[in-house]
Amino acid sequence: MLEIERYKTNLNDVFSSQRKFELQLLIEKELADANFKVGKIPKEANDVIQLKCTPKYVKLERAKEIEMEIHHDLMSLVHAISEQCGEYGGYIHLGATSYDIQDTVRGLQLREAKKEILSALETTIEIVSKLAEEHKELACIGRTHGIHAVPTTYGMKFGNFLNELLLAKKALEGSKVAYGKFSGAVGTYASYGTQEIEKIILEKLDLEKQPITTQVISRVIHANYIYSLALIATVLEHFAKEIRNLQRTEINEIRESFISTQVGSSTMPQKKNPEKSERICGLARIIRSKIQPTLENVGLEHERDLSNSSAERVIFAETSILTHYILLQMNDILKNLHFNIPKINENLYLRKGAQCAEHLMIRLSDRMGRQKAHELLKQLSNEEDFIEAAKTNSIVAEMFSSKEIEDILDPINYLGLSKQIIDNLLHSVK
């Protein structure tokens, strides 16, 4: 997978060739045992298969050697197992089509991947909840269109991130992936003559079944899963962009940690770049790009063609691993996030009262109407010192004292219900 090793997590092992091979052996072993239980395989054959159909005897390297000759990966596995089972090798893979094995392997892999991703996401939610609580009263300037708007708090910033994480988590939880199938070549169970074999195997593996399949389980299931990962990645990208922008030299309110041995630039010694946040944004693009082929895999021809196979060898592993990776990256960023409180305050008061012009407009509206108040303050906002301009304006000064104007235009007095919003949000999470 090209440079996927650079973004390695423990999910690399889940999707490794060796792990997939071990799961295929497990499922072939369970298939033989189920066939024995319904009377299709003699006991002595099943005993040998249960002993030999393990990585101790059947090797991935041998299966690959066979694949070089026959050009079919699953039948290579079947031949490799059969070699070890001697006279009973003919009972291997009885009744099954390749995707009875492959889709069931996929169900096991994705269940494990989903569990790990959810665990990392829950950690993110815990960290962000703590940050929202700790900074719910830390006032800062809000920005819309990149321009100073009205005051907000860092609690609100983290709270919005938290809400999006909760929505993304709900999507992932709703994307069920733990499915398997043993319904044969076109889903009719003709080769098995019964659904009992499927029932035995899936109960043993703790997997669910779909009410109907073709040769494969519907790819709508996988599309939901990949979409949920792309949603998580996009939420992480959203906040990673916030960190990147707030770390800009001119803003400098928060920044990623930067250890003493770290290098920011190969040529500019002074650079401290938000590289982890940038990495999250870049990998989020890759994760989102997997949605398109996953949706196209839904529309297989007739009872199934092979066009999904090659794409899925890349899609499931890369999307799962990269999503897990950027969650871990974000957790590291958030745990070590640096707040530049003096700069946060400096930016909050930078506009000298203009950042609270809305507050003054609302207070004036009761006495002169909203539209007239808006026009008046729009003109005053052109002045460098808005507070002073308001104090010396005859209309405003007639209605409010200098002290009242200062209080109205103090950002700390215009945070609305921000604290209550965060308290309510955190209460709902708990």
Catalytic residues: 145, 265
CA atoms in the 13 A half-sphere facing the CB of 217 = 25
Q: Can you read off the two tokens belonging to residue 132?
A: 């929202």
β-pairing verdict for 338-339 and 147-153: unpaired
Residue type, 272: K
Element at 267 (helix H, strand E): none
Nearest to 300 by CA among 405, 407, 214: 214
2: alpha, beta or left, given left = phi > 0 and alpha = psi -120 to 50? Answer: left
Q: Can you read off the two tokens belonging to residue 203?
A: 């109960």
- CA dist 410 and 149 (Å) reads 14
- CA dist 274 and 278 (Å) reads 6
Residue 186, SS3 per DSSP: coil
> Is 272 exposed, middle or buried, given 0-12, 13-18 or 19+ CB atoms closer than 10 A?
middle
Query: 87: Cβ–Cβ under 8 A, 6 or more apart, which residues?
Result: none
CA atoms in the 13 A half-sphere facing the CB of 290 = 30
Instruction: Report the chain's C-alpha Rg in angstroms.
Output: 30
Give the DSSP per-residue string, 341-367.
HHHHHHHHTTTTTGGGHHHHHHHHHHH
Q: How far, in whole angstroms, is CA 105 from its chain's centroid?
A: 22
Q: Can you read off the two tokens belonging to residue 371?
A: 């539209």
Residue whose structure tokens are 């990966």: 73
Query: 193: Cβ–Cβ under 8 A, 6 or more apart, which residues?
Result: none
C-alpha to C-alpha distances, 351 to 220, 229, 342, nearest whole angstrom: 52, 41, 16
Spatial contact of 129 and 245, defined as CB atoms under 8 Å apart:
no
- CA dist 359 and 354 (Å) reads 10
Residue 66, SS3 per DSSP: helix
Q: How far, in whole angstroms, is CA 120 from its chain's centroid?
A: 9
